[in-house]
Amino acid sequence: MENTFTTLNPFSERSIANHVYLSNDDIDFIIDKSHLRFDKWKNQDFNFKKKILKNLSNDLLINIDEYSRKITNEMGKPLKESRGEIKKCSQLCNFYFEHSENFLKPYEVKLEKQVAKISYSPLGIILGIMPWNFPFWQVFRFAIPTLMSGNTVIIKHSPNTFGCGDLISYIFNKVGYPKYCYNNIKIHHTQVERIIASDKVQGVSLTGSEKAGAAVGSLAGKHIKKTLFELGGSDPFIIYDDANIELAVSDAISAKFLNSGQSCISPKRFFIHEKIYKIFIKMFIAKLKKLNIGNPMEVETDIGPLAKKEFVDKIRYQVKKSIDMGAEIIFKKDYDSKKGFFIEPIILRHNNLNSPIFNEEVFGPVIPIFIFNDKDNIIELVNSTAYGLGASLWTSCNLKKNNFEQNINTGLLFINGMTKSDPRIPFGGIKKSGYGRELSKEGIKEFVNIKTIVSKNKEF
């Protein structure tokens, strides 16, 4: 096992910092300390927790320039998008500041001669295995509701954003979280089982690849630990001929190129009705040509580099294999980069359901177009993937809307809008996109013991 990891700037390709992995003794120490902190934190009153949360929300906005530059420096996201990520974290804090206490209030159910009281109790230490693509947002959407429900957390960040992990840990300590409530650890993936195996760790939440989910799921099953997985996606973007094409194209551009296409809910399969295909392509290319590719630190940049060189190589392979299987290049936006992990946005037309651009997750600025007509069973085509995270449907027909609502196999369906996460609504998928829900009132109840106490009426 390697002892260190060096983070790189995806634009300059220069090293940022060397990070040292924790020893097994260090891991055990943190688990012990976090467990001791849990014994106090689980009984902490909501007013105290809410005060810290408000401090956190304010701190994010006060220091948005510093925090957003850290994100962009480490994983290459355009700076304006990094600022949006920090703002969204602040909004999430405000949401749970306002609603978490009410979400976790016990309630009663009257029985024949008894009454049942249902309450929500924290479980203990919850491990969060977090990705690199939204290095602040993903941590916040896991950690905030998990802490507010009375648990303590241990966060394993993706190695290429270890610096963001350090900064988030500093922020949590600065705004008033008691020591060992929030624990940031730098470990090798081979050390994950040590944490999951501990009797003091009660659950694990992972956002990452299908491969990572399978590995962690196996470990969690072996040690009987509760899990929540948000894994890959191959979200469809379906546009019928009765849709508002102009709005659909605008949202398609925004959704596809957010974070250079490195998002689990980015549209990865475009199903376009044959009657509007030509106008859609014309309008889409016109907007794509106006997007600026380049240095993510510059405010005018719309598309930055991918986070790692290996991601560029994988996408090039997926595109080449799909072309070999019959995909046609419709448009390619050239970008002559002498440095940086860039890949040119490319539009491919293809109807081979066995190609990588259809049945694999392509995590970047690749736009696969599949043309359909009224004779096609479009829902069957949309569902014919291993994933089931989100979908975006564009139509003015209520019959089509109802048909998709009832039959699409996804956790999210946005009608006449792009798929996105929002603190107020549940987020999560089915099939190989994972299970469980984050955000909203559902998310705060993922890592609690729903305790039922039944007694005679007069005893409550």
Q: Is 205 helix (H, G, I), strand (E, B) or coil?
A: strand
Query: Has residue 409 got a pLDDT over 60?
Result: yes
Indicate the length of the chain as a whole number. Answer: 460
Q: CATH 3.40.605.10: which residues of the chain?
A: 4-231+433-459
Look up the CATH superfamily of 4-231+433-459.
Aldehyde Dehydrogenase; Chain A, domain 1 (3.40.605.10)
Q: Is 425 helix (H, G, I), strand (E, B) or coil?
A: coil
Chain-centre distance for alpha carbon 33: 29
Burial of 244 (0-12, 13-18, 19+ CB in 10 A): middle
CATH class of 235-422: alpha beta
Q: CATH 3.40.309.10: which residues of the chain?
A: 235-422
Element housing 394 (H / E): strand 392-394
Query: Has residue 459 got a pLDDT over 70?
Result: no
Residue from 81, 181, 264, 446 carrying the catalytic annotation? 264
Count of CA atoms in the C-beta half-sphere (13 A) of 350: 27
Picking from 60, 145, 136, 58, the residue whose alpha carbon sits closest to that of residue 95 is 145
Mean pLDDT value across residues 134-157: 99
Residue from 230, 360, 438, 446 carrying the catalytic annotation? 230
Query: Has residue 338 got a pLDDT over 90?
Result: no
Tally of CB atoms within 10 A around 275: 14
pLDDT in tens, 31-74: 999 999 999 999 999 999 999 999 999 999 999 999 999 999 99
pLDDT on residue 103: 99
264 assigned to active site: yes
101 assigned to active site: no
Query: Has residue 460 got a pLDDT over 60?
Result: no
Specify the pTM.
0.97
Residue 421 in tokens: 């996460």
